[in-house]
A and B are shown apart, each in its own frame.
Chain A
Protein backbone atom coordinates (compact mmCIF):
# COMPACT_ATOMS: atom_id res chain seq x y z
CA UNK A 1 0.00 0.00 0.00
CA UNK A 2 1.35 3.36 -1.08
CA UNK A 3 0.34 6.57 0.60
CA UNK A 4 -0.78 9.05 -2.02
CA UNK A 5 -1.35 11.89 0.42
CA UNK A 6 0.73 12.49 3.53
CA UNK A 7 -0.36 15.21 5.92
CA UNK A 8 1.57 16.37 8.96
CA UNK A 9 0.51 18.87 11.58
CA UNK A 10 -2.13 20.48 9.44
CA UNK A 11 -3.68 23.52 11.08
CA UNK A 12 -6.23 25.80 9.51
CA UNK A 13 -7.89 28.98 10.74
CA UNK A 14 -10.71 30.96 9.14
CA UNK A 15 -9.96 34.38 10.60
CA UNK A 16 -10.01 33.62 14.35
CA UNK A 17 -11.81 30.33 14.04
CA UNK A 18 -9.33 27.47 14.50
CA UNK A 19 -11.03 24.84 12.37
CA UNK A 20 -8.45 22.08 11.84
CA UNK A 21 -6.09 21.17 14.62
CA UNK A 22 -2.82 19.29 14.25
CA UNK A 23 -4.05 16.74 11.80
CA UNK A 24 -1.68 13.90 10.87
CA UNK A 25 -3.00 11.46 8.33
CA UNK A 26 -1.74 9.40 5.42
CA UNK A 27 -4.23 8.54 2.72
CA UNK A 28 -3.61 5.35 0.72
CA UNK A 29 -3.52 5.26 -3.05
CA UNK A 30 -6.39 3.72 -5.05
CA UNK A 31 -8.52 2.99 -2.05
CA UNK A 32 -11.51 4.76 -0.56
CA UNK A 33 -10.92 6.78 2.56
CA UNK A 34 -14.01 8.02 4.38
CA UNK A 35 -14.09 11.08 6.61
CA UNK A 36 -16.78 10.98 9.29
CA UNK A 37 -17.74 13.28 12.09
CA UNK A 38 -20.48 15.52 13.48
CA UNK A 39 -21.48 18.43 11.30
CA UNK A 40 -19.33 21.52 11.63
CA UNK A 41 -16.30 19.51 12.73
CA UNK A 42 -14.30 20.51 9.68
CA UNK A 43 -14.80 17.63 7.24
CA UNK A 44 -15.46 19.81 4.23
CA UNK A 45 -12.71 22.17 5.23
CA UNK A 46 -10.28 19.27 5.46
CA UNK A 47 -11.29 18.03 2.04
CA UNK A 48 -10.89 21.49 0.54
CA UNK A 49 -7.32 21.68 1.81
CA UNK A 50 -6.45 18.89 -0.60
CA UNK A 51 -7.30 20.89 -3.73
CA UNK A 52 -6.59 24.27 -2.15
CA UNK A 53 -10.17 25.45 -2.51
CA UNK A 54 -9.84 27.13 0.89
CA UNK A 55 -7.42 29.55 -0.77
CA UNK A 56 -10.51 31.23 -2.21
CA UNK A 57 -11.75 32.18 1.23
CA UNK A 58 -10.24 35.40 2.48
CA UNK A 59 -8.48 35.29 5.83
CA UNK A 60 -7.61 31.59 5.68
CA UNK A 61 -4.38 30.65 7.40
CA UNK A 62 -2.95 27.23 6.91
CA UNK A 63 0.20 25.57 8.24
CA UNK A 64 1.77 22.14 8.32
CA UNK A 65 2.85 19.97 5.44
CA UNK A 66 0.52 18.47 2.89
CA UNK A 67 2.24 16.17 0.43
CA UNK A 68 0.77 14.56 -2.63
CA UNK A 69 3.19 12.17 -4.31
CA UNK A 70 5.77 13.49 -1.90
CA UNK A 71 5.47 17.07 -3.14
CA UNK A 72 4.19 19.80 -0.88
CA UNK A 73 1.08 21.18 -2.56
CA UNK A 74 1.33 24.44 -0.65
CA UNK A 75 4.86 25.21 -1.81
CA UNK A 76 5.39 28.18 -4.10
CA UNK A 77 6.43 26.03 -7.02
CA UNK A 78 3.03 24.33 -7.23
CA UNK A 79 0.75 25.40 -10.07
CA UNK A 80 -2.58 25.60 -8.31
CA UNK A 81 -4.59 25.17 -11.52
CA UNK A 82 -2.67 22.04 -12.37
CA UNK A 83 -3.14 20.78 -8.82
CA UNK A 84 -6.92 21.13 -9.11
CA UNK A 85 -6.78 19.24 -12.37
CA UNK A 86 -5.02 16.39 -10.58
CA UNK A 87 -7.32 16.54 -7.56
CA UNK A 88 -10.93 16.56 -8.71
CA UNK A 89 -13.91 17.39 -6.56
CA UNK A 90 -17.57 16.42 -6.45
CA UNK A 91 -19.85 18.53 -4.28
CA UNK A 92 -22.69 17.86 -1.90
CA UNK A 93 -25.39 19.26 -4.13
CA UNK A 94 -25.08 18.33 -7.81
CA UNK A 95 -23.89 21.50 -9.53
CA UNK A 96 -23.77 21.01 -13.29
CA UNK A 97 -23.31 24.20 -15.30
CA UNK A 98 -26.41 25.52 -17.11
CA UNK A 99 -24.94 24.17 -20.33
CA UNK A 100 -25.47 21.04 -22.40
CA UNK A 101 -24.46 17.64 -21.09
CA UNK A 102 -21.59 17.56 -23.56
CA UNK A 103 -20.37 21.04 -22.68
CA UNK A 104 -20.38 20.21 -19.00
CA UNK A 105 -17.99 17.31 -19.47
CA UNK A 106 -15.93 19.15 -22.07
CA UNK A 107 -15.54 22.19 -19.82
CA UNK A 108 -12.42 21.07 -17.99
CA UNK A 109 -10.80 19.91 -21.22
CA UNK A 110 -11.33 23.29 -22.85
CA UNK A 111 -10.08 25.10 -19.76
CA UNK A 112 -6.89 23.09 -20.02
CA UNK A 113 -6.35 24.04 -23.63
CA UNK A 114 -7.41 20.84 -25.35
CA UNK A 115 -8.69 22.15 -28.67
CA UNK A 116 -8.96 19.18 -30.99
CA UNK A 117 -12.66 18.37 -31.47
CA UNK A 118 -12.05 14.65 -31.98
CA UNK A 119 -10.00 14.37 -28.81
CA UNK A 120 -12.62 16.25 -26.85
CA UNK A 121 -15.47 14.00 -28.03
CA UNK A 122 -13.46 10.91 -27.25
CA UNK A 123 -12.61 12.06 -23.77
CA UNK A 124 -16.17 13.19 -23.09
CA UNK A 125 -17.49 9.80 -24.11
CA UNK A 126 -14.93 7.98 -21.99
CA UNK A 127 -15.68 10.12 -18.94
CA UNK A 128 -19.43 9.57 -19.35
CA UNK A 129 -18.90 5.82 -19.71
CA UNK A 130 -16.66 5.74 -16.65
CA UNK A 131 -19.33 7.59 -14.70
CA UNK A 132 -21.96 5.03 -15.77
CA UNK A 133 -23.97 7.72 -17.49
CA UNK A 134 -23.22 7.20 -21.19
CA UNK A 135 -26.12 4.87 -22.00
CA UNK A 136 -28.63 7.22 -20.44
CA UNK A 137 -27.47 10.36 -22.22
CA UNK A 138 -25.76 9.31 -25.43
CA UNK A 139 -28.77 10.34 -27.53
CA UNK A 140 -29.16 13.73 -25.97
CA UNK A 141 -25.70 15.09 -25.37
CA UNK A 142 -26.73 18.53 -26.53
CA UNK A 143 -29.71 18.90 -24.22
CA UNK A 144 -29.41 20.85 -21.00
CA UNK A 145 -27.72 19.20 -18.05
CA UNK A 146 -30.33 20.77 -15.81
CA UNK A 147 -33.00 18.48 -17.30
CA UNK A 148 -31.31 15.39 -15.83
CA UNK A 149 -32.50 13.80 -12.59
CA UNK A 150 -30.57 14.51 -9.40
CA UNK A 151 -28.73 11.19 -9.51
CA UNK A 152 -27.84 11.69 -13.16
CA UNK A 153 -26.66 15.23 -12.46
CA UNK A 154 -24.35 13.94 -9.75
CA UNK A 155 -22.92 11.31 -12.09
CA UNK A 156 -22.51 14.06 -14.69
CA UNK A 157 -20.51 16.05 -12.16
CA UNK A 158 -18.37 12.96 -11.63
CA UNK A 159 -17.90 12.61 -15.38
CA UNK A 160 -16.94 16.28 -15.53
CA UNK A 161 -14.28 15.68 -12.89
CA UNK A 162 -13.08 12.45 -14.58
CA UNK A 163 -12.68 14.11 -17.97
CA UNK A 164 -9.52 15.97 -16.99
CA UNK A 165 -7.99 12.70 -15.80
CA UNK A 166 -7.37 13.41 -12.12
CA UNK A 167 -5.46 11.10 -9.81
CA UNK A 168 -7.45 11.88 -6.70
CA UNK A 169 -11.18 12.59 -6.43
CA UNK A 170 -12.70 14.29 -3.41
CA UNK A 171 -16.36 13.68 -2.66
CA UNK A 172 -18.14 15.93 -0.18
CA UNK A 173 -21.28 14.07 0.92
CA UNK A 174 -22.10 13.28 -2.71
CA UNK A 175 -25.18 11.23 -1.92
CA UNK A 176 -26.83 13.45 0.64
CA UNK A 177 -29.14 15.07 -1.92
CA UNK A 178 -29.98 11.79 -3.66
CA UNK A 179 -32.77 9.23 -3.31
CA UNK A 180 -31.81 5.73 -2.09
CA UNK A 181 -31.69 4.17 -5.57
CA UNK A 182 -29.47 6.90 -7.01
CA UNK A 183 -27.40 6.70 -3.90
CA UNK A 184 -26.88 2.94 -4.37
CA UNK A 185 -25.84 3.51 -7.98
CA UNK A 186 -23.36 6.11 -6.81
CA UNK A 187 -21.84 3.66 -4.34
CA UNK A 188 -21.45 1.08 -7.11
CA UNK A 189 -19.70 3.67 -9.18
CA UNK A 190 -17.32 4.56 -6.37
CA UNK A 191 -16.33 0.89 -6.08
CA UNK A 192 -15.42 0.89 -9.76
CA UNK A 193 -13.59 4.20 -9.63
CA UNK A 194 -11.25 3.12 -6.87
CA UNK A 195 -9.47 0.81 -9.30
CA UNK A 196 -8.00 3.88 -10.94
CA UNK A 197 -8.35 6.74 -8.52
CA UNK A 198 -7.56 7.61 -4.95
CA UNK A 199 -10.85 8.54 -3.36
CA UNK A 200 -11.53 10.63 -0.28
CA UNK A 201 -15.18 10.87 0.66
CA UNK A 202 -16.89 12.85 3.38
CA UNK A 203 -20.06 11.17 4.50
CA UNK A 204 -22.65 11.63 7.15
CA UNK A 205 -24.04 8.22 6.56
CA UNK A 206 -22.31 5.64 8.76
CA UNK A 207 -23.64 2.62 6.90
CA UNK A 208 -22.41 4.12 3.69
CA UNK A 209 -18.93 4.67 5.13
CA UNK A 210 -18.91 1.09 6.44
CA UNK A 211 -20.02 -0.31 3.07
CA UNK A 212 -17.74 1.47 0.69
CA UNK A 213 -14.61 2.66 2.43
CA UNK A 214 -11.33 0.88 3.10
CA UNK A 215 -10.09 3.37 5.65
CA UNK A 216 -12.05 5.66 7.90
CA UNK A 217 -11.08 8.83 9.70
CA UNK A 218 -13.14 10.22 12.53
CA UNK A 219 -12.99 13.98 13.06
CA UNK A 220 -14.39 15.91 15.99
CA UNK A 221 -14.13 19.65 16.65
CA UNK A 222 -11.33 19.87 14.11
CA UNK A 223 -9.24 17.08 15.62
CA UNK A 224 -8.53 13.74 14.06
CA UNK A 225 -9.70 11.38 16.79
CA UNK A 226 -9.08 8.12 15.07
CA UNK A 227 -7.91 6.80 11.72
CA UNK A 228 -7.86 3.15 10.88
CA UNK A 229 -9.03 0.40 8.57
CA UNK A 230 -12.79 0.72 8.26
CA UNK A 231 -13.59 -2.67 9.76
CA UNK A 232 -11.43 -1.85 12.80
CA UNK A 233 -13.12 1.50 13.31
CA UNK A 234 -16.56 -0.03 13.14
CA UNK A 235 -15.89 -3.20 15.13
CA UNK A 236 -13.29 -2.11 17.64
CA UNK A 237 -12.92 1.65 17.92
CA UNK A 238 -9.97 2.66 20.07
CA UNK A 239 -11.34 5.96 21.28
CA UNK A 240 -14.39 6.37 23.47
CA UNK A 241 -15.54 9.35 21.39
CA UNK A 242 -15.55 7.30 18.19
CA UNK A 243 -17.56 4.62 19.90
CA UNK A 244 -20.06 7.17 21.18
CA UNK A 245 -20.45 8.64 17.72
CA UNK A 246 -20.93 5.25 16.09
CA UNK A 247 -23.51 4.17 18.62
CA UNK A 248 -25.38 7.42 18.12
CA UNK A 249 -24.74 8.94 21.53
CA UNK A 250 -24.10 12.23 19.78
CA UNK A 251 -23.67 13.54 16.28
Chain B
Protein backbone atom coordinates (compact mmCIF):
# COMPACT_ATOMS: atom_id res chain seq x y z
CA UNK B 1 0.00 0.00 0.00
CA UNK B 2 2.94 2.31 0.42
CA UNK B 3 4.20 1.55 -3.04
CA UNK B 4 3.11 2.72 -6.44
CA UNK B 5 2.75 6.41 -5.64
CA UNK B 6 -0.40 8.45 -5.85
CA UNK B 7 -0.53 8.70 -9.61
CA UNK B 8 -3.37 6.16 -10.00
CA UNK B 9 -5.33 7.98 -7.29
CA UNK B 10 -4.73 11.33 -8.95
CA UNK B 11 -5.94 10.01 -12.30
CA UNK B 12 -8.86 8.30 -10.57
CA UNK B 13 -9.97 11.54 -8.97
CA UNK B 14 -9.63 13.28 -12.31
CA UNK B 15 -11.73 10.64 -14.05
CA UNK B 16 -14.42 10.63 -11.37
CA UNK B 17 -14.76 14.43 -11.29
CA UNK B 18 -14.73 14.78 -15.05
CA UNK B 19 -17.32 12.05 -15.36
CA UNK B 20 -19.46 13.76 -12.75
CA UNK B 21 -19.33 17.06 -14.65
CA UNK B 22 -20.02 15.40 -18.01
CA UNK B 23 -23.16 13.99 -16.51
CA UNK B 24 -24.30 16.81 -14.24
CA UNK B 25 -23.51 19.87 -16.37
CA UNK B 26 -25.81 19.18 -19.33
CA UNK B 27 -28.53 17.82 -17.09
CA UNK B 28 -28.24 20.73 -14.65
CA UNK B 29 -28.27 23.36 -17.38
CA UNK B 30 -31.29 21.78 -19.06
CA UNK B 31 -33.08 21.58 -15.73
CA UNK B 32 -32.31 25.24 -15.04
CA UNK B 33 -33.54 26.28 -18.49
CA UNK B 34 -36.71 24.35 -17.95
CA UNK B 35 -37.32 25.79 -14.49
CA UNK B 36 -36.53 29.37 -15.50
CA UNK B 37 -37.95 29.63 -18.98
CA UNK B 38 -40.68 27.06 -19.35
CA UNK B 39 -42.06 25.91 -16.02
CA UNK B 40 -43.71 29.16 -14.97
CA UNK B 41 -44.93 29.63 -11.42
CA UNK B 42 -46.96 26.47 -10.88
CA UNK B 43 -47.20 24.89 -7.49
CA UNK B 44 -45.37 21.69 -8.30
CA UNK B 45 -42.50 23.75 -9.73
CA UNK B 46 -42.11 25.37 -6.33
CA UNK B 47 -42.06 21.94 -4.76
CA UNK B 48 -39.39 20.77 -7.20
CA UNK B 49 -37.31 23.81 -6.34
CA UNK B 50 -37.60 23.14 -2.62
CA UNK B 51 -36.59 19.55 -3.36
CA UNK B 52 -33.50 20.70 -5.23
CA UNK B 53 -32.48 23.02 -2.42
CA UNK B 54 -32.89 20.26 0.14
CA UNK B 55 -30.91 17.87 -2.01
CA UNK B 56 -27.99 20.24 -1.67
CA UNK B 57 -28.10 19.70 2.09
CA UNK B 58 -28.27 15.91 2.11
CA UNK B 59 -25.19 14.33 3.72
CA UNK B 60 -22.90 12.93 1.10
CA UNK B 61 -22.82 9.44 2.59
CA UNK B 62 -26.51 9.17 1.77
CA UNK B 63 -25.65 9.84 -1.86
CA UNK B 64 -23.11 7.05 -1.53
CA UNK B 65 -25.77 4.61 -0.39
CA UNK B 66 -28.11 5.81 -3.11
CA UNK B 67 -25.40 5.27 -5.71
CA UNK B 68 -24.76 1.80 -4.36
CA UNK B 69 -28.41 0.86 -4.55
CA UNK B 70 -29.13 2.41 -7.95
CA UNK B 71 -26.01 2.45 -10.08
CA UNK B 72 -23.96 -0.38 -8.60
CA UNK B 73 -26.81 -2.82 -7.94
CA UNK B 74 -29.92 -1.90 -9.89
CA UNK B 75 -28.22 -0.77 -13.10
CA UNK B 76 -25.50 -3.34 -12.61
CA UNK B 77 -22.61 -0.97 -13.26
CA UNK B 78 -20.76 -2.52 -10.34
CA UNK B 79 -18.21 -0.69 -8.23
CA UNK B 80 -16.78 1.36 -11.05
CA UNK B 81 -15.72 4.75 -12.41
CA UNK B 82 -19.14 5.00 -14.01
CA UNK B 83 -21.10 4.39 -10.82
CA UNK B 84 -18.87 6.79 -8.89
CA UNK B 85 -19.13 9.51 -11.52
CA UNK B 86 -22.91 9.25 -11.63
CA UNK B 87 -23.14 9.37 -7.84
CA UNK B 88 -20.87 12.41 -7.65
CA UNK B 89 -22.83 13.91 -10.53
CA UNK B 90 -26.06 13.64 -8.56
CA UNK B 91 -24.33 15.14 -5.56
CA UNK B 92 -23.30 18.26 -7.47
CA UNK B 93 -26.44 18.47 -9.60
CA UNK B 94 -28.32 20.82 -7.24
CA UNK B 95 -25.33 23.17 -7.09
CA UNK B 96 -25.12 23.26 -10.86
CA UNK B 97 -28.85 23.81 -11.25
CA UNK B 98 -28.76 26.69 -8.81
CA UNK B 99 -25.69 28.31 -10.35
CA UNK B 100 -27.24 27.97 -13.80
CA UNK B 101 -30.54 29.43 -12.65
CA UNK B 102 -28.73 32.41 -11.17
CA UNK B 103 -26.69 32.88 -14.32
CA UNK B 104 -29.83 32.71 -16.47
CA UNK B 105 -31.56 35.17 -14.16
CA UNK B 106 -28.76 37.66 -14.57
CA UNK B 107 -29.26 37.86 -18.34
CA UNK B 108 -30.98 41.23 -18.89
CA UNK B 109 -34.51 40.88 -20.23
CA UNK B 110 -33.70 43.60 -22.76
CA UNK B 111 -31.50 41.05 -24.59
CA UNK B 112 -34.36 38.60 -24.79
CA UNK B 113 -36.76 41.29 -25.95
CA UNK B 114 -34.38 42.33 -28.70
CA UNK B 115 -34.21 38.73 -29.86
CA UNK B 116 -37.97 38.19 -29.81
CA UNK B 117 -38.53 41.48 -31.60
CA UNK B 118 -36.37 40.20 -34.46
CA UNK B 119 -38.67 37.23 -34.84
CA UNK B 120 -36.67 34.66 -32.91
CA UNK B 121 -38.44 31.76 -31.22
CA UNK B 122 -38.04 31.12 -27.53
CA UNK B 123 -35.65 28.26 -28.11
CA UNK B 124 -33.53 30.29 -30.54
CA UNK B 125 -33.41 33.07 -27.97
CA UNK B 126 -32.32 30.68 -25.25
CA UNK B 127 -29.71 29.03 -27.42
CA UNK B 128 -28.23 32.10 -29.04
CA UNK B 129 -28.66 34.83 -26.46
CA UNK B 130 -29.47 33.53 -23.00
CA UNK B 131 -27.03 30.63 -22.78
CA UNK B 132 -23.98 32.36 -24.28
CA UNK B 133 -24.56 35.31 -21.95
CA UNK B 134 -25.03 33.05 -18.94
CA UNK B 135 -22.18 30.70 -19.83
CA UNK B 136 -19.37 32.21 -17.71
CA UNK B 137 -21.64 32.09 -14.66
CA UNK B 138 -22.64 28.51 -15.38
CA UNK B 139 -19.03 27.47 -15.88
CA UNK B 140 -17.92 29.11 -12.65
CA UNK B 141 -20.58 27.14 -10.78
CA UNK B 142 -19.60 23.94 -12.56
CA UNK B 143 -15.91 24.32 -11.80
CA UNK B 144 -16.53 25.11 -8.13
CA UNK B 145 -18.65 21.99 -7.88
CA UNK B 146 -15.89 20.06 -9.61
CA UNK B 147 -13.65 21.02 -6.70
CA UNK B 148 -16.27 19.73 -4.34
CA UNK B 149 -16.64 16.45 -6.24
CA UNK B 150 -12.87 15.90 -6.25
CA UNK B 151 -12.69 16.10 -2.48
CA UNK B 152 -15.63 13.88 -1.54
CA UNK B 153 -15.02 10.46 -0.01
CA UNK B 154 -18.37 9.13 1.09
CA UNK B 155 -20.11 9.09 -2.31
CA UNK B 156 -17.36 6.98 -3.87
CA UNK B 157 -16.85 4.76 -0.85
CA UNK B 158 -19.28 2.10 -2.00
CA UNK B 159 -19.55 2.99 -5.64
CA UNK B 160 -16.14 3.46 -7.21
CA UNK B 161 -13.13 3.40 -4.99
CA UNK B 162 -10.69 0.66 -4.29
CA UNK B 163 -8.01 0.53 -1.63
CA UNK B 164 -5.16 -0.13 -3.81
CA UNK B 165 -4.30 -0.88 -7.38
CA UNK B 166 -1.27 -0.20 -9.45
CA UNK B 167 -3.29 -0.03 -12.60
CA UNK B 168 -5.42 2.60 -14.14
CA UNK B 169 -8.96 1.49 -14.96
CA UNK B 170 -9.18 -0.05 -18.44
CA UNK B 171 -12.84 0.84 -18.80
CA UNK B 172 -15.52 2.89 -17.07
CA UNK B 173 -16.75 -0.34 -15.51
CA UNK B 174 -13.57 -0.82 -13.49
CA UNK B 175 -12.99 0.37 -9.97
CA UNK B 176 -10.44 3.06 -9.38
CA UNK B 177 -8.29 4.72 -6.74
CA UNK B 178 -9.12 8.27 -5.70
CA UNK B 179 -7.23 10.80 -3.59
CA UNK B 180 -9.67 11.29 -0.70
CA UNK B 181 -10.34 7.61 -0.34
CA UNK B 182 -6.64 6.87 -0.60
CA UNK B 183 -6.12 9.04 2.46
CA UNK B 184 -8.86 7.23 4.31
CA UNK B 185 -7.42 3.86 3.40
CA UNK B 186 -3.89 4.83 4.38
CA UNK B 187 -5.05 5.97 7.78
CA UNK B 188 -7.31 3.03 8.60
CA UNK B 189 -6.01 -0.05 6.83
CA UNK B 190 -2.68 -1.67 6.23
CA UNK B 191 0.06 -2.87 8.50
CA UNK B 192 2.71 -0.18 8.35
CA UNK B 193 1.23 2.95 9.92
CA UNK B 194 4.63 4.51 10.42
CA UNK B 195 5.07 4.67 6.64
CA UNK B 196 1.45 5.17 5.76
CA UNK B 197 0.66 8.22 7.87
CA UNK B 198 3.21 10.52 6.21
CA UNK B 199 1.96 9.39 2.81
CA UNK B 200 -1.59 10.19 3.88
CA UNK B 201 -0.55 13.72 4.82
CA UNK B 202 1.28 14.10 1.55
CA UNK B 203 -1.79 12.92 -0.33
CA UNK B 204 -3.93 15.36 1.61
CA UNK B 205 -1.62 18.17 0.53
CA UNK B 206 -1.91 17.14 -3.10
CA UNK B 207 -5.69 17.01 -2.79
CA UNK B 208 -5.81 20.44 -1.19
CA UNK B 209 -3.60 21.94 -3.86
CA UNK B 210 -5.80 20.36 -6.49
CA UNK B 211 -8.97 21.81 -5.01
CA UNK B 212 -7.33 25.23 -4.58
CA UNK B 213 -6.18 25.17 -8.18
CA UNK B 214 -9.67 24.32 -9.40
CA UNK B 215 -11.26 27.06 -7.30
CA UNK B 216 -8.61 29.49 -8.45
CA UNK B 217 -9.57 28.81 -12.06
CA UNK B 218 -13.20 29.44 -11.20
CA UNK B 219 -12.31 32.73 -9.54
CA UNK B 220 -10.30 33.83 -12.55
CA UNK B 221 -13.20 33.07 -14.88
CA UNK B 222 -15.55 34.97 -12.64
CA UNK B 223 -13.40 38.08 -12.34
CA UNK B 224 -12.79 38.09 -16.09
CA UNK B 225 -16.49 37.85 -16.68
CA UNK B 226 -17.15 40.75 -14.27
CA UNK B 227 -14.59 42.89 -16.00
CA UNK B 228 -15.94 42.13 -19.46
CA UNK B 229 -19.56 42.65 -18.71
CA UNK B 230 -20.98 46.05 -19.35
CA UNK B 231 -24.69 45.73 -19.00
Kindly state the interface size class of chain B when it binds its partner. Answer: 20 to 34
Residues of A within 8 A of B128 (CB): 107, 110-111
Is A53 in contact with chain B by the CB < 8 A criterion? yes
Which secondary structure dominates chain B's binding surface?
helix
How distant is B70 from chain A, measured CB to nearest CB, in Å? 39
Question: A91–B119 contact, CB under 8 A?
Answer: no
Stretch with Cβ within 8 A of B (4 or more), from A19-27, A77-85, A199-207, A241-249: A77-85
Question: A88–B229 contact, CB under 8 A?
Answer: no
A51 to B119, CA, bound (A): 9
Question: B120–A81 contact, CB under 8 A?
Answer: yes
Question: B231–A108 contact, CB under 8 A?
Answer: no
How distant is A165 from chain B, measured CB to nearest CB, in Å? 11
Question: B118–A161 contact, CB under 8 A?
Answer: yes
A104-135 interface (Cβ within 8 A of B): 107-108, 110-112
Is A160 in contact with chain B by the CB < 8 A criterion? yes
Question: A88–B117 contact, CB under 8 A?
Answer: yes
Is A1 in contact with chain B by the CB < 8 A criterion? no
Kindly state the interface size class of chain A when it binds its partner. Answer: 20 to 34
List 30 A-B residue pairs with CB atoms under 8 Å apart, sorted by A's residue number. Answer: A56-B116, A81-B119, A81-B120, A81-B121, A82-B119, A83-B119, A84-B116, A84-B117, A84-B119, A85-B119, A88-B117, A89-B117, A91-B113, A91-B117, A93-B110, A95-B111, A95-B114, A98-B111, A98-B229, A98-B230, A107-B118, A107-B120, A107-B128, A108-B119, A111-B115, A111-B120, A112-B119, A146-B230, A146-B231, A147-B230
Residues of A whose CB lies within 8 Å of any CB of B are 51, 53, 56, 81-85, 88-89, 91, 93, 95-99, 107-108, 110-112, 146-147, 157, 160-161, 164
Beyond known contacts A96-B114, A160-B118: 8 more, CB 8 A cutoff: A82-B119, A85-B119, A95-B113, A97-B114, A98-B132, A98-B231, A108-B120, A164-B119
Residues of B whose CB lies within 8 Å of any CB of A are 108, 110-111, 113-121, 124, 128-129, 132-133, 229-231
